[in-house]
Amino acid sequence: MKNVKKLKKQYSDAGISKDNVCKDPVEQFRLWFKQAVDSGIAEPNGFCLSTVSEESKPSQRTVLMKSCDHDGLVFYTNHYSRKGQQLAENNKVSALFPWYELHRQINIEGTVSRVNDQLSREYFKSRPRDSQISAWASRQSETIASRHVLEQQQQEIEQKFGDQEIPLPTFWGGYHISPERFEFWQGRAHRLHDRILYIKKDNALEDNPRKDKQWEIVRLSP
């Protein structure tokens, strides 16, 4: 471990600026996400989800983004898991996409809400049957005596449903993150990295009766 301080990498990637990014951060996210997918890196839709409990205790874990629209992104989990409980207590979250191979990361901050049951049901039906069974079998985040207990629960669920269609568990579903901040980080030479921040703010102009949100784009010092 004493050689950790010697683990350095010099970045030489092309940079980003306020002038060459999309005006809409969702479009910029989609552009970078497509490039991440096309590059062949592992799990480009994996991100670190940070939540905070009502006691202000933070926790993190990696989850998978399953869809992205103009209003934000969606992931799925057990409502009674640790993250599910914290999301119920505090709907402020942070989502970090760490694309190390590309020397890029995207940090998204916003609020989370549950998606409707129909959307959760449609996604659940698209999952492999083994994954559907696992969702029923795992009491996510609860203490268990051994892996044997988990495998036994899996077998019980398989026997319960047999060849029937497996329904959406009432304790499982999707969450939608509505972004308020996007930060795009691009590694550059000599640690002079590029950081472009999008901040959402209210637009209360008289000619905009819907008071749509607008994005301000700023550069941050590395």
Active site residues: 191
Single-letter code of the amino acid located at 92: K
> Read out DSSP for 115-179?
PPHHHHHHHHHHS-HHHHHHHHH--TT---S-HHHHHHHHHHHHHHHTTSPPPPPTTEEEEEEEE
Q: For residues 202 and 132, what is the distance between their CA atoms, to the nearest angstrom?
A: 41
145/139 Cα distance (integer angstroms): 13
Contact indicator for 110, 178 with CB cutoff of 8 Å: yes
C-alpha 92/C-alpha 110 separation (Å) is 6
With beta carbons less than 8 A apart as the criterion, state whether 157 and 129 touch.
no
| Longest CA–CA separation in the chain, Å | 64
